[in-house]
Amino acid sequence: MPHYPAIANKLISLRNADLALRDMLMRSGKLQDGYAEEMEAMHLKHAAILEQVIDEIGYPTISKVGEEGSAAAWLIIQHAISNPSFMRKCQQLLSEAVDQGDASALDLAYLSDRIAVLSGQKQLYGTQFDWDEEGKLSPNAYDNIALVNERRASLALPSLEEQTQSIRLRAQSENHQAPTDLQQRNLEMNTWRKKVGWVE
């Protein structure tokens, strides 16, 4: 039983609202058009709520809010891409919780990769994907395929090659399409990354 069941329920309800909005935007085709305003607004609002939770109880670890509550907190952090300082602060807190055996090492890998990619660095685990110039989903830049696969194996993840195949099949089944103008989309993305403070 988590120490803070009410907080766990709150985090899970925020996660559910996030996933419901994503599903609605996906069905309406708006998910392909970049970062939807209503999604960004929800992500920022949820990050602010989670920040209050962290001020109150510290990082929402498994012992504090249960596995589902802790996973829900991670999703909120993972989606708080307009708030770099919050994501970096949570990365540090999550890293400490993982060291204490009270949070998921897999969650930390995904968060670390996302922060690396948004900052223009190479990812370590190959968890982040984007459209390439051939209109296929491919891993964002990483350091070395052998090292990436070694790190992935340590977390019981399939090889990057297998993951790439799986991601492409899922995108196909969900009818995800590459942006019609990838160059323009990337230009807009870089402008946005500068605006929110990921890159200079």
Give the Cα separation of 72 and 154 in Å (integer).
23
Listed residue (84, 77, 34) closest to 193, CA to CA: 84
Confidence (pLDDT) at 32: 64
Distance of CA 193 to the CA centre of its chain: 15
Q: How does 48-62 read in b/e, with b if 16+ C-beta sit within 10 Å?
A: eebbebbeeeebbbb
Q: What confidence tens digit (pLDDT) does each residue in 8-38 have?
A: 999 999 999 999 999 898 888 776 667 889 9
Listed residue (116, 139, 141) closest to 128, CA to CA: 139
Confidence (pLDDT) at 174: 82
Dig out the tokens for 73 from the structure: 């907190």
Dig out the tokens for 68 from the structure: 């589902």
Listed residue (113, 16, 108) closest to 62, CA to CA: 108
Q: What confidence tens digit (pLDDT) does each residue in 65-121 have?
A: 999 999 999 999 999 999 999 999 999 999 999 999 999 999 999 999 999 999 999
With 70 as the cut, is the pLDDT of residue 187 above it? yes
Confidence (pLDDT) at 26: 81
Q: What confidence tens digit (pLDDT) does each residue in 113-151 have?
A: 999 999 999 999 999 999 999 999 999 999 999 999 999
Confidence (pLDDT) at 180: 85
DSSP 61-117: -HHHHHHHHHHHHHHHHHT-TT-HHHHHHHHHHHHHHHHTTSS-HHHHHHHHHHHHH
Residue 73, amino acid = A
